[in-house]
Amino acid sequence: MKVLEFEVRSGGSIRIELEKCESCETKACVKMCNTQGMGQILELKDGVPALKYSLEEVKRGACTEDLGCELECELHGNKALVITLPLPELDEYLEGLSEQPTYLREA
């Protein structure tokens, strides 16, 4: 499986399953990433998203972690992109709840 995966400054990571991108008609993640005010780290190479910068530059903060790419891919792409960010305070908070929030409940 072809995957583009890179780390970001907060300690999280972004993973893109590039095989799903080949048939994506919108390439919405790249458009959003290059909108003014966003990170502008993605470009299209051979029809799929690629980094404009080195992995080290992206990890040092070139990626602004605005989350726009994931949302656009979910809404208009092929659901190929997942952002994982460490949120220990949220995990701690969720553990303390007597009832799980709706989005975590089994259907």
- Asked if 81 is part of the footprint of ligand SF4 (rule: CB under 6 A), the reply reads yes
Is the separation of the CB atoms in 18 and 77 below 8 Å?
no
Decide: is 33 part of the binding site for ligand SF4 (CB under 6 A): no
Q: How far is the CB of 21 from ligand SF4 (least distance, A)?
A: 3
Residue 13 in the binding site for ligand SF4 (CB under 6 A): no
> Considering the complex, what minimum distance in angstroms separates the CB of residue 100 from ligand SF4?
29
CB of 87 to ligand SF4, least distance (A): 22
What is the phi/psi pair of residue 22, to 5°?
Answer: -60, -35
Which one, 46 or 99, has the nearer CB to ligand SF4? 46
> What Å distances lie between residue 33 and 11, 36, 50, 90, 97, CA to CA?
20, 8, 11, 26, 35
Query: H/E element holding 84?
Result: strand 81-84
Is 41 a binder of ligand SF4 (CB under 6 A)?
A: no
Integer Cα distance of 62 and 101 in angstroms: 33
Residues engaged in binding ligand SF4 (CB under 6 A): 16, 20-21, 24, 26-29, 49, 72-73, 77-78, 80-81
